[in-house]
Amino acid sequence: MLQIALVCSAFLLVCSLASLVKGGADYWSLPIPAQGPPPAETIELVADLSAPACGICHVQQFADWQESWHARSVSPGLLGQLDQLDGGTVLSCLACHAPREEAAARWWTEGLKGGAGLAPVDCTACHVRAHIRYGPRARSFTPHGPVIAESRFRKSDFCAPCHQFSEKAPRFNGKPLQDTYAEWRRSRYAKLDISCQACHMPGGRHRMSGIHDPELTRRALGLSARRTAAGLEVHLGNQGAGHALPTYVTPRLVVTLAGITPEGMVEPLLNHVIARQMEWSEETGWRELADTRLLPDQWQTLTLALPAERRARVKVQVDPGYDYHQRVYPALLHRWAGVLEPAARDLLEQARLEGVAASYTLIELECGVWSGQEQECVSVQGF
Ligand code: HEC
Ligand code: HEC
Ligand code: HEC
Ligand code: HEC
Ligand code: HEC
């Protein structure tokens, strides 16, 4: 029991983990039942359900998917933790990160050694049930027999089983730790029928990029800044994400308003964090410290007082893995210092470093001195 309490506390996720998975009825029961042996008439080329095998014919989808985070869902950060978790918790993690039952089976027999070979969120996880292919439309003749149309492929419901914790998951300040689908439902995008796929799979492409992609994130964040008599006036808003910007508890954006000294030194004067900040402690359990994320279409204004002769800068830094590399991984490495296998420790350390390296500057604007009239700041990086 103590073990479980420790484990639950240390993670982003919370105790009754089984309840985190929002088992979408029928098509999306997680984990996905093992496919079993292929039907007798199956030609050899299509009996193999691995992503590279699909990629022999579906070249574009495979190339896109390989670049996506779905292909990397069995990550060092995940694997490094599994060893120390109880069986029920591991099952729940694998349900979303390696959702095919065959993958889970391999974990139980091979453990960390087989870890890298676990199937991630792959073609078969999304498209194949009992060797039958499903897709957005029906196809009568293919090398793998008829493809069955499943209307959900074009709807946000399709993504919800993994991108929304269930109603039973614990809530902090009224929200579960992962609430992407519900955020979308409440937005104008749901009313306009603009699905997750419309933004994340334009033209059916499978890259499905998110906050790690500066180009996509630039479309999400609206930003303008003006030099006024008083100093700086900065407007920022979520103009292009169909959920909170960012949606998960891990990433953070920092908007820095800085003055430039006469010697040309950049002097940060105001740091505004955009993130849902969580904290855990033995005494209080989980707590939400602040939620400064921008909901869809939400805008805000930041101001900074400056002397008339001061130039200034506005910079937005994005740190997609912030909470993991700053809080979770260091806490786990410390807590498990005596018990962690060297291989698991290396994985967590690798995940921490990869998290740090993923940080990037999204936008940088330069603002002049007060010239007697208001002036827009101009982009030196980004837009
Ligand atoms: C030997 C070649 C081959 C292999 C291997 C193969 N497919 Fe296909 N697949 C096809 C062809 C041909 C079609 C017909 C539609 C087309 O022209 O894209 C098709 C159609 C589909 C469709 C419907 C596409 C649409 O346009 O609606 C899906 C979904 C699909 N395959 C998934 C898969 C998955 C998942 C795998 C791996 C588990 C796979 N296929 C392996 C050749 C292949
Ligand atoms: C309901 C599905 C679900 C469950 C259950 C789940 N995850 Fe995740 N996890 C996700 C999704 C989706 C993301 C990406 C979130 C985002 O970017 O919005 C993620 C992100 C992560 C990340 C950060 C990215 C990376 O891979 O380095 C780690 C680490 C992780 N999860 C570990 C775990 C562990 C450990 C468990 C079990 C204790 C777990 N997850 C349970 C869906 C899930
Ligand atoms: C996370 C779930 C997911 C994964 C993983 C995934 N797909 Fe898809 N796929 C979809 C969705 C959703 C659509 C429908 C997109 C649309 O039409 O808006 C789709 C559409 C397709 C189509 C129909 C043609 C098209 O491009 O619209 C093919 C073929 C296909 N996928 C093959 C693959 C192959 C091959 C892989 C692995 C390399 C793969 N998919 C991985 C969700 C997925
Ligand atoms: C109107 C376009 C739009 C819609 C609709 C949309 N997204 Fe996004 N999404 C974005 C943009 C832009 C980003 C990059 C900025 C960010 O992280 O919020 C993003 C980021 C993400 C991320 C990265 C992690 C994070 O913390 O932000 C995930 C995961 C995600 N979206 C999943 C979804 C899912 C699931 C749905 C449907 C329920 C969805 N998105 C609907 C535009 C959209
Ligand atoms: C079977 C579970 C599953 C399904 C279904 C699924 N995802 Fe994911 N998705 C994940 C996991 C797990 C991650 C985190 C991978 C990691 O970083 O370890 C993820 C990550 C992402 C990201 C994050 C990229 C970033 O930059 O952080 C986006 C965007 C995304 N998914 C979009 C979608 C969309 C859109 C759909 C529906 C078409 C979808 N996903 C369906 C499990 C799933």
Give me the residue spans of the domains in the chain.
Answer: 2-163, 214-321+358-381
pLDDT at position 382:
63
Ligand 4 atom nearest residue 220's Cα: 12
| Residue 232: pLDDT over 90 | yes
Amino acid in position 366: E
How far does residue 210's CA lie from ligand 4's centre (Å)?
6
Segment 177-181 shows an average pLDDT of 97
Amino acid at 177: L
Atom of ligand 5 nearest to the CA of 199: 35
Pick the ligand that lies closest to the CA of residue 219.
4
Q: pTM for the whole thing?
A: 0.94
Q: What is the mean pLDDT of residues 294-313?
A: 97
- Taking 90 as the threshold, does the pLDDT of residue 282 lie above it? no
Fold that domain 214-321+358-381 belongs to in CATH = Immunoglobulin-like (2.60.40)
Please report the pLDDT score of residue 117 as a whole number: 85
Check: CB of residue 235 under 8 Å from CB of residue 301: yes
pLDDT digits (tens, 9 = 90+) for 56-93: 999 999 999 999 999 999 999 999 999 899 999 999 99
Helix (H) or strand (E) holding 181: helix 180-185
Query: What residue owns the CA closest to ligand 1's atom 38?
Result: 49
Distance CA 323, CA 162 (A): 20
| Rounded CA separation 217/317 (Å) | 11
pLDDT digits (tens, 9 = 90+) for 18-55: 344 444 458 999 999 999 999 998 999 999 999 999 99
- Which pLDDT does position 26 carry in this prediction? 85
Ligand 2, atom 21, lies closest to the CA of: 78
Give the mean pLDDT of 362-374: 96
Q: Which residues pair with 226 in a beta bridge?
A: 233, 376
Report d(CA 70, CA 115) in Å as an integer.
Answer: 16
Work out the widest C-alpha separation in the chain, in whole angstroms. 81
Neighbours of 306 (CB within 10 A): 22
pLDDT (0 to 100) of residue 4:
31
> What pLDDT shows up at residue 283?
81
